[in-house]
A and B are shown apart, each in its own frame.
Chain A
Amino acid sequence: MSFPLLQVINLKVELIRPESSKSLLQEVNFELRSQELLAVIGESGGGKSLLIKALLKLLPPHFKVSGQIIYTDGNEQPVDLNHLSEKEINVYRRRKIGVLFQEPLSGLNPVLSCGTQLRDAVAFAREVSFAEAHEIALNLFATVGLLEPAAIYCTYPHQLSGGMAQRVALALALAGQPRLLLIDEPTSALDCIARREFMDLIQNLRQTQDLTVFMVTHDFANIAQIAAKILVLYAGLPVEYGDADRLWRQPHHPYTHLLFTTYQTLQKGETVAPSSPKLSDSASSSNGCSFAPRCPVVQDHCYPNFPSYQLLPDGTRLYCHFPLSP
């Protein structure tokens, strides 16, 4: 029976400066049930990676994070991660929530062999001896699909291909047997075959390791296959959130529509006309809808007014004055 493992309520991230503050993420609300995969999509600079860091309280002190991040593990009492001390959240970072960042090699120590790094991480996270950790590390390498675990154990990060490095980083993220895995653009550095293999692996791990996955991605070819829900971020606002299949078939927000139709046109090999105006003009407007300068159905009302929250009958939540109708 799936239960809400993670609930994010009114999350807001602000950059605090001496003279002013700037809102980088706002009104972020979503729920992630056990074994589900939530895909977060949107433009570069839209706040996707920032959201992952906010969930783990990894942002430096000049970022103010408000709102609730409720983590519930089975029978345990729900905990608001945002209000835990550094010492308390370290337990969650170590044992309950794994994270995999975009560039796997930047997360690996270049002067230690992959096996040593994983063994140390396992020994620390699971509080076992090095001998036990060694065995667990070999099993983890096999779990993430590395064919010769003993050989990989002695390999240094610079000797790995991109796909192998990504798998080693994934093994490290799984060192503490987490229930929740946060992944930031895992496939952007991989070729399309390695990308497909990696997504298949994540799908497999969800089922065999009882993993719940929160994934930031640009990989439309694969999210359509494996995501249960999609959260679309644009300029720090979750403009649309809902069931993946429904969003794919019938996006309501013009930005989601633009993304999906662009991808589908590319799939068919047809010529894609870029959205207008061009990127340089798309700086977010101060009060109104950030997408207004590029929106194909924009009206005068959109420029000065912050987009209104709407809960549609199909369960989709969106921020738009004029959502697209079916």
Chain B
Amino acid sequence: MVSIKSNLNLEPEMNHLSANPILQVENLTLGYRRSAWFGTSSRQQLIIRDISFAIQPNETVALVGQSGVGKTSIANSILRFLKPWHGNIYFLGQNIWQIPASRFRLIRPRLQPIFQDSATALNPMMTIDQAIMDGMKHLKLSHAEAQQRLNELLQMVELEPALCNHYPRQLSGGQRQRVVIARALATEPSLLILDEPLSALDLVTAVQIIDLLRSMRQRLNLSCLLITHDLMLAQQLADRIIVLKDGVVIDSGPTQQILTNPSHHFTRQLIHAAGILNRKT
């Protein structure tokens, strides 16, 4: 495989990862401020209160909670889309909200999000090969190298090369999600942020994507932050689960421990609602 890490021109300290977590979130507090508008008064809404967690190399951590609890806000903050009110986020040893934007751009390719709706994640005017190769542009690969890497990625996500010239609208939901994964992997990321990656897919397709993500994780030594309300998915992919409610962490621990011995009644409620081993007689 064409390696791109050398092209990233990272500072030496960024590569000292073996003993350190890939991602460390410290006392993160997030919220939204709404400015006064047409006679309405300005408002502040606190979403996440003082949460901390870390993701080690080759580890998958699931953030689980109901819709609106702030899971995606955490992802947005890690991606530097939403500035924290308080706290620090360290990615590859860098405090991402303290470093200048130019420096963040250097490590940003190592941090790749995969969102829920693959239809809106892909540019409708770009063919599949253009979309994937667009992600490699900043790596300054030669055309031959980029083409070789494209072929490897398509093979890795089990997409037929014949689909290269297709537009996103011509693909099924599962195929589009595979393209999004291939595009994310194009930059050899250290951390994937998977925000409800399966909620738009039917069961059989979802299982294929679970299998793909699992094998990618092992093969590429990836760390993942999985954001989901589906404990069944968390059970399949995550090493650890963090349960959020009302903006705070109410339960966290190894996946099996959370599922078999949850400490909070809300976690039990989630397990029950997810239908885990639940069937009328």
Asked whether, in the complex, the Cβ of B172 is within 8 Å of the Cβ of A45, the reply is: yes
The CA-CA distance from A281 to B232 in the complex, in Å, is: 27
A221 at the binding interface (Cβ < 8 Å):
yes
CB distance from A298 to the nearest CB of B (A): 16
Q: Are A224 and B279 closer than 8 Å at their CB atoms?
A: yes
The answer to the question of A128 belonging to the interface, with a C-beta cut-off of 8 Å to chain B, is no
Q: Is B66 an interface residue (CB 8 A)?
A: yes
Q: 1/0 per position for B259-281, CB-CB distance to A under 8 A?
A: 10000000001101111111110
Query: Known contacts being A44-B173, A193-B273, is A275 close to B204, with CB within 8 Å?
Result: yes
User: Is B221 positioned at the interface, with any CB of A under 8 Å from its CB?
Assistant: no
Tell me how far the C-beta of A323 lies from the nearest C-beta in chain B, rounded to whole angstroms: 19
B273 and A266 within 8 A (CB): no
Q: Known: A193-B269, A221-B274, A272-B211. Is A262-B66 also a contact (CB below 8 A)?
A: no
In the bound complex, residues from chain B placing their C-beta under 8 Å from that of A192 are 229-231, 270, 273-275
Q: A221 near B158 (CB under 8 angstroms)?
A: no
Complex-state Cα separation, A114 to B275, whole angstroms: 32
CB interface residues, A 194-212, toward B, < 8 Å: 194-196
Contacts of A163 in B (CB 8 A): 67
Bound Cα distance A190, B175 (Å): 23
Q: Contacting B208 at CB < 8 Å: which of A221, A269, A274? A: A274
Once A194-B67, A269-B259, A280-B175 are accepted as A-B contacts, the answer to whether A259 and B273 lie under 8 Å apart by CB is no
B208 near A42 (CB under 8 angstroms)?
A: no
Residues on the A chain within 8 Å of B173, using CB:
44-45
Q: Within 8 Å of chain B (Cβ to Cβ): is A314?
A: no
Q: Residue-by-residue, is A4-44 near B (CB-CB < 8 Å gives 1, otherwise 0)?
A: 00000000000000000000000000000000000000111
Query: Which residue of chain B lies nearest to A46 when distances are taken between CB atoms in the complex?
Result: B202
Establish whether residues A279 and B277, one from each chain, have CB atoms under 8 Å apart when the complex forms: no
Interface string of B128-160 (1 = CB under 8 A from A): 000000000000000000000000000000111
Please state if A280 and B158 are interface contacts (CB–CB under 8 Å): yes
Q: How far is the CB of A283 from chain B (nearest CB, A)?
A: 10
Query: Closest approach, in angstroms, between the C-beta of B268 and any C-beta of chain A?
Result: 11
CB-defined contacts of B235 to chain A, threshold 8 Å: 266, 269
What residues of chain B lie closer than 8 Å to A162, measured between beta carbons? 67-68
- Interface status of A273 (Cβ within 8 A of chain B): yes
Interface pair B205/A43, CB less than 8 Å apart:
yes
Q: Quick check: is A188 within 8 A (CB to CB) of the other chain?
A: yes
A278 to B274, CA, bound (A): 27
User: How many angstroms between the C-alpha atoms of A275 and B236 in the bound complex?
Assistant: 16
Q: Check A262/B204 contact, CB under 8 A, given A192-B270, A193-B270, A273-B211.
A: yes
Specify which chain B residues have a CB less than 8 angstroms from the CB of A271 in the assembled complex. Answer: 214, 236
Alpha-carbon distance A45/B176, docked complex (angstroms): 14
Q: Which chain A residues lie closer than 8 Å to B201 at the CB level?
A: 44
B1 in contact (CB, < 8 A): no
Contact check, B275 vs A279: say whether CB atoms are below 8 A apart.
Answer: no
Contact with B along A254-282 (1 / 0, CB 8 A): 00001100110011110111110011110
Task: Check A279 against B174 for contact (C-beta < 8 Å).
Answer: yes
- For A263, the closest partner residue in chain B by CB is B203
Decide yes or no: A224 and B280 within 8 Å by CB, A192-B274, A274-B211 being known contacts. yes
Binary flags per residue of A77-106, CB closer than 8 Å to B gives 1, else 0: 000000000000000000000000000000
Which residues from chain B contact A263 at a C-beta distance below 8 Å? Answer: 203
| B residues in contact with A193, CB < 8 Å | 66, 229, 269-270, 273
| Cβ–Cβ contact B204 & A259, under 8 A | yes
| Bound form: Cα–Cα A36–B172 in Å | 32
- Say whether, besides A272-B210, A279-B172, A221 and B205 are in contact (CB < 8 Å): no
**CB–CB A188/B67 < 8 A:** no
Give B202 Cβ to nearest chain A Cβ, in Å: 5
Q: Check A262–B203 contact: CB distance below 8 A.
A: yes
Inside 8 A of B210's CB, which chain A residues have their CB? 272, 274
Q: How far is the CA of A220 from the CA of B203 in the complex (A)?
A: 9
A285 proximal to B (CB < 8 A): no
Decide if B52 is an interface residue (CB 8 Å cutoff): no
Question: Which among B200, B236, B278 is the interface contact of A221 at CB below 8 angstroms?
Answer: B278
Given known A-B contacts A193-B270, A279-B208, A280-B175, A269 and B202 have beta carbons under 8 A apart: no
In the bound complex, CA of A263 to CA of B232 (Å): 10
Contact of A222 with B by CB under 8 A:
yes
Asked if A218 and B203 make an inter-chain contact with CB atoms under 8 angstroms apart, the answer reads yes
A268 to B256, CA, bound (A): 12
Near A by CB (< 8 A), chain B positions 159-177 give 159-160, 163, 172-175
**Can you list, as one digit per residue, whether each of B183-220 has a CB less than 8 Å from chain A (1) or not (0)?**
00000000000000001111111011011001000000
Query: Bound state CA distance, A195 and B67, in angstroms?
Result: 11
Contact with A along B57-74 (1 / 0, CB 8 A): 000000001111000000
Q: In the docked arrangement, what's the CA distance between A190 and B214, Å?
A: 25
Partner of B280, one of A225, A266, A272: A225
Rounded to whole angstroms, the CA-CA distance of A266 and B274 in the bound complex is: 11
The interface of chain B, by Cβ under 8 A from chain A, is: 65-68, 158-160, 163, 172-175, 199-205, 207-208, 210-211, 214, 229-232, 235-236, 259, 269-270, 272-280
Q: What are the 6 A-B residue pairs with the smallest beta carbon separation, nearest first?
A: A221-B275, A191-B229, A192-B273, A274-B208, A196-B273, A191-B67
Task: Give 14 pairs: A residue, B residue, CB < 8 Å, sorted on A.
Answer: A45-B173, A161-B67, A191-B65, A194-B66, A224-B280, A267-B279, A269-B259, A271-B236, A273-B211, A278-B208, A279-B172, A279-B174, A279-B204, A281-B160
